[in-house]
Structure 1
Amino acid sequence: MLVGPRLRVYAPRLFRTGYPMVSSDGSDPGSAAGYGASAAAVDGRRDIILAYRDRLIPRSELHFLRRLYVGFERLRPLWVGRSRDDGLADLGDEAVFLGREGVLGTWDREMFKHFGVLPPVPDLRASRPRLVHAHFGRGGALALPIARALKIPLVVSFYGADATKDKQYRKRFPPSVFQRRLHAMWDEAALFLCVSGFIKEQLLARGFPPEKLLVQHSGVNIDPDYGPDDPAAPLYVMFAGRFVEKKGVPSLIEAVRRLEAEGRTVRLVLVGEGPMEQELRQAASALKQVEFMGWMPNHELRRWMRGALALCVPSQRASDGDAEGLPTVVIEAMAAGTPVIGSRHAGIGEAVEDGETGFLIPEQDPDALAAALRRLMDEPNLRRALGENARQAAMENFEMSAQSRRLEQRLLGVIAATYTSGPTR
Structure 2
Amino acid sequence: MTVCYFGIYDPVFGRNRVYRKGLTENGHAVLDCLDRSRGITKFWRLWRKHRALPPYDVMVVGYPGHLIVPFAKLIARGPVVADLLGSLEDAETLSHGAGFWRRVKSALIDRLAVYFADIVLLESEAQESFFENKFGSSGKYRVLYTGADDSVFRCDSERIEERFVVLFRGRLTPESGILHVLEAARLLKNDPLITFRIVGAGPLLSRARETITKANLMNVELITERLSEERLRALMCEAALSLGQLSDNPRLSRTIPHKAFESFALGIPYLSGDTPAIREAVRDGETGFLVPSVSPEALAKKIQELRANPALLRRVGEAANTEFTSRFSPGALADALLSMLRKN
TM bin (shorter chain): 0.7 to 0.9
- The corresponding residue for 1:381 is 311
State the secondary structure of the residue aligned to 2:13: helix
State the secondary structure of the residue aligned to 1:133: strand
Give unmatched runs, 5+ long, in structure 2. none
Of residues 193, 203, 226 in structure 2, which corresponds to 1:275? 203
Of residues 80, 90, 96 in structure 1, which corresponds to 2:34? 80
Amino acid at match of 2:4: I
Percent of aligned pairs with the same residue?
Answer: 21
- The corresponding residue for 2:186 is 257
1:127 matched to 2:53: yes
Q: Hey, what's the Cα distance between the residues in 1 that align with 2:46 and 2:234?
A: 46
State the secondary structure of the residue aligned to 2:297: helix
TM norm structure 1: 0.68
Larger radius of gyration: 1
How many pairs does the alignment contain? 332
1:333 matched to 2:263: yes
Q: Deviations over 1:186-235 (max 9, x none)?
A: 332111111111211221221243411111112334578755434x4222
Q: Hey, what's the Cα distance between the residues in 2 that align with 1:65 and 1:82?
A: 15
State the secondary structure of the residue aligned to 2:188: helix
Q: Within 5 Å, which residues of 2 pair with 1:204-243? A: 204-222=132-150, 228-230=158-160, 232-243=161-172
Offset, 1:173: 4.8
Structure with more of its chain in helix, by fraction: 2
| Cα distance change of structure 1 residues 379 and 122 upon mapping to structure 2, 3 Å threshold | closer
State the secondary structure of the residue aligned to 1:326: coil
- The corresponding residue for 1:16 is none
Amino acid at match of 1:313: G
1:68 matched to 2:1: no
| Cα distance change of structure 1 residues 174 and 339 upon mapping to structure 2, 3 Å threshold | closer
Amino acid at match of 2:167: M
Amino acid at match of 1:139: G
| Cα distance change of structure 1 residues 123 and 142 upon mapping to structure 2, 3 Å threshold | closer
| Cα distance change of structure 1 residues 359 and 106 upon mapping to structure 2, 3 Å threshold | closer
* Aligned Cα root-mean-square deviation (Å): 3.2
State the secondary structure of the residue aligned to 1:308: coil
Q: Which runs of 4+ in 1 moved over 6 A?
A: none
| Cα distance change of structure 1 residues 182 and 308 upon mapping to structure 2, 3 Å threshold | closer
- The corresponding residue for 1:399 is 329
Q: Hey, what's the Cα distance between the residues in 1 that align with 2:165 and 2:155?
A: 22
- 1:315 touches 1:345 (CA, 8 Å); kept in 2? no
- The corresponding residue for 1:284 is 212
Offset, 1:237: 1.0
- The corresponding residue for 2:296 is 366
1:51 matched to 2:2: no
Give unmatched runs, 5+ long, in structure 1. 1-45, 84-104, 113-117, 415-425
Offset, 1:166: 7.0
Q: Hey, what's the Cα distance between the residues in 2 that align with 1:135 and 1:381?
A: 41
Amino acid at match of 1:141: L
- 2:14 touches 2:258 (CA, 8 Å); kept in 1? no
- The corresponding residue for 2:177 is 248
Q: Hey, what's the Cα distance between the residues in 1 that align with 2:195 and 2:226?
A: 19
- The corresponding residue for 1:149 is 75
Q: Hey, what's the Cα distance between the residues in 1 that align with 2:128 and 2:284?
A: 22
State the secondary structure of the residue aligned to 2:311: helix
Q: Hey, what's the Cα distance between the residues in 1 that align with 2:166 and 2:255?
A: 23
